[in-house]
Structure 1
């Protein structure tokens, strides 16, 4: 009986240590932004105002984290309504036909203290491609209500040509490189 109790105690403690945790993006303290070079001389930046993001991890340092992001493409916002409407149409995102953009991680490699290379499948405009993003876990704190909150900075680059985005606009007009920046707080569910 004593051995059985010991085994159950070890199993219980192991489950607690390695328990899967889920973290949901706090949208009031998060943003998904992008930047692209226009006419080779200026940076145009924008946001996607509607998105959901989840992180699942069993390691406290997020070294085994799985990231899932879903973005509502029609929520694109560059601060210029005419440009946003153009980006939503078939010349670019074709948001009516492809209203969602998703990223689902497939691997995470720790490259430094709180720093990771996260690879996953990015899908939008009817195309899925693997991309690798830089992830910086800024830390975890408790908010005023005692909830655990973790902060992340995520950045990377994609080529719009890989997703057939704006194929009629040459690099002299719009760079092929699009910079992605996510700054987000996640609350433990």
Structure 2
């Protein structure tokens, strides 16, 4: 079978992250505006290709002041770098329904390779008869490698914001006809 295109359904998908705060807790956030096109042979998920983009300005941590700071020059500098992108380069079988989806993440004007550990959740049909597919993906990045270096030292030792960022994607996509 040939490659089929699937468009991510943002109403049934999420792009989330978490990062350490004060070295004692994790702060979670999400991006509200994103889009992606997947292309793969349904009989062979290793043929997966993906092009995705996220609006940096759509970041939310449910705290307005922190969100404004994250959009500023100290972090994402969303005015200068409005889009975060991911372009896949390979997809390798890593276990039953498990894949390693590698690609290039461009964030804050810096492009680095990132691998998403991906679980294929399967296919189904929605009430309108459209074919859908689901994936759950996770990755970890070091934010300083992307030029996101802002931080403040704590009087008791340590830093305010951790360097390691956990990314979690819940993806549901609709077959493009």
Please say whether Structure 1 and Structure 2 have the same fold, judged by a TM-score greater than 0.5: yes
The reply on whether 1:142 has 2:129 as its aligned counterpart is: no
Structure 2: segments with no counterpart, 5+ residues? none
How far did 1:59 drift?
Answer: 4.2
**Structure 2 matches for 1:12-161, cutoff 5 A?**
17=1, 19-161=2-144
> 2: CA distance between counterparts of 1:96 and 1:78?
19
The reply on whether 1:184 has 2:171 as its aligned counterpart is: yes
SS of corresponding position for 2:87: strand
Larger Rg: 1
Q: Is the 8 A contact 1:106 1:120 kept in 2?
A: yes
Change beyond 3 A, Cα 1:39–1:168: closer
In the superposition, the TM-score normalised over structure 1's length comes to 0.88
> 1: CA distance between counterparts of 2:5 and 2:65?
39
Q: Is the 8 A contact 2:51 2:86 kept in 1?
A: yes
More strand by share: 2
> 2: CA distance between counterparts of 1:166 and 1:71?
20
In the superposition, the TM-score normalised over structure 2's length comes to 0.93
Structure 1: segments with no counterpart, 5+ residues? 1-16
More helix by share: 1
> 1: CA distance between counterparts of 2:36 and 2:152?
31
**How many matched pairs?**
172
Root-mean-square deviation (Å): 1.2
> 1: CA distance between counterparts of 2:167 and 2:94?
20
SS of corresponding position for 2:46: coil
